[in-house]
Amino acid sequence: MRVVAEIPHASFKITVFSWNGKYLIKLERGPYEQTYKISEMDVLGDEGLKQILDETFINEAVGLFQQMHQNLMAAQERAE
């Protein structure tokens, strides 16, 4: 697996990897991460990746991070 790009963002870290004919887009925020796999055949290089990582995608990823945090907090409360 090799790093293709690190894309700066204010809310989380975005790293793009190339592995086994796929791009892996990894978003990290605190203790949480999201990974998306896309076939390299479905994307036209760096520009194609940037088109996928549009404002709507980023906003929805932020919402998923918030949901992940809520899920973990609720699970910890139930375990107490």
Tokens (6 digits) for 34: 């999201």
Measured distance CA(75)–CA(36) in Å, rounded = 24
Asked if 57 contacts 50 with a C-beta cutoff of 8 angstroms, the reply is no
Q: Mind listing the pLDDT tens digit for each residue in 12-65? A: 999 999 999 999 999 999 999 999 999 999 998 778 888 899 999 999 999 999
Enter the tokens of residue 38: 């896309």
Evaluate whether 52 touches 40 at the Cβ level (below 8 Å). Answer: no
Are 24 and 35 within 8 A, CB to CB? Answer: yes
pTM above 0.85, yes or no: yes
